[in-house]
Amino acid sequence: MITVKTIKDVRKMVREARDKGQSVGFVPTMGYFHEGHLSLIRRAKAENDLVVVSLFVNPLQFGPKEDLASYPRDLKRDQEMAFQAGADILFTPEAGEMYPSNFQTFVEVAEISQGLCGESRPGHFRGVATVVLKLFNIVAADRAYFGEKDAQQLRVVRRMAADLNLDLQIIGCPIVREPDGLAMSSRNVYLNPEERQAALVLYRALQTAKQSIENGERDPQIINRRMQEIFLAEPLAEVDYIAIVSSETLKPIVPLSGEVLIALAAKVGKTRLIDNMTIQIDS
Ligand code: AMP
């Protein structure tokens, strides 16, 4: 595996591979890898000849009071893990390489960016869409891999790819969890031992929702209330939002039917965590 820092170098290597007829898989990340990231890299390796992983903590998608400065970073560790998982190229640009001083173009994916995380993090998906389109233009891939963990992000990227006629396939991959159910996240390192235990409340709330639906409940308000009650029993956690919506449009469906997304965000101590689950309702 080779680590490259410039747009010019990564472009050249991808072009050479494509000229040889090789297929290219791309995994955009912000680094500090865990099994969630590695599952995407392994899938990309299984389906493509060349795998490019980008590691870029994108300033544009962080709000002024968010954790850009403290976001966990460990390049050596990430290089080793990406290599073991099958990455061929690790692209690690500096912020100045991606956003030179006269940068002034932004991508806005309107409707699907609203609500859920879009409401709590104004400008977040504009930052995501902008950097992802730039990365797609830099790394001319056949397939790009995203986790269902960031459910709204995946839908924003899919919408952008369709609306702007991007010539690549967007592939969604399942959420990887710790054995006790906590969704893996680079931000989990912020949690102290009590918070780590308290963080299980997100998964518990999702399980409660799933159980309610399996028991025949179709009223999202009632399910929402049951989930809120789970959170009330956990003093270290505070709900940001709970959304029970159409998995496709992220809009409410009452009564619930079809593919439903149950998504939530909560603060555990100072750490904001997200998680979600999709459930198919046939009747
Ligand atoms: P990040 O570095 O957090 O921006 O994540 C990079 C990619 O990995 C995104 O497509 C995420 O959705 C995906 N990802 C992060 N955590 C997980 C997880 N626990 N399971 C599956 N995919 C994940």
150 close to ligand 1 (CB < 6 Angstrom): yes
- Cβ neighbours for 206, distance < 8 A, ≥ 6 positions apart: 227, 262, 264, 275, 276, 277
Residues classed as catalytic: 37
CB 277 within 8 A of CB 209: yes
d(CA 62, CA 254): 33
Q: Can you give the pLDDT of all 283 residues of the chain as single tens digits? A: 999 999 999 999 999 999 999 999 999 999 999 999 999 999 999 999 999 999 999 999 999 999 999 999 999 999 999 999 999 999 999 999 999 999 999 999 999 999 999 999 999 999 999 999 999 999 999 999 999 999 999 999 999 999 999 999 999 999 999 999 999 999 999 999 999 999 999 999 999 999 999 999 999 999 999 999 999 999 999 999 999 999 999 999 999 999 999 999 999 999 999 999 999 999 7
The Cα 157–Cα 113 span in angstroms is 10
C-alpha to C-alpha distance for 240 and 265, rounded to whole angstroms? 5
- Ligand 1 in reach of 186 Cβ (< 6 A): yes
Ligand 1, pocket-test mutation among 149, 184, 272, most atoms within 8 A of CB: 149
- Point out which residues pair with 245 in neighbouring strands: 252, 261
- Report which ligand 1 atom has the smallest distance to the Cα of 150: 12
Residue whose token pair is 């898989």: 25
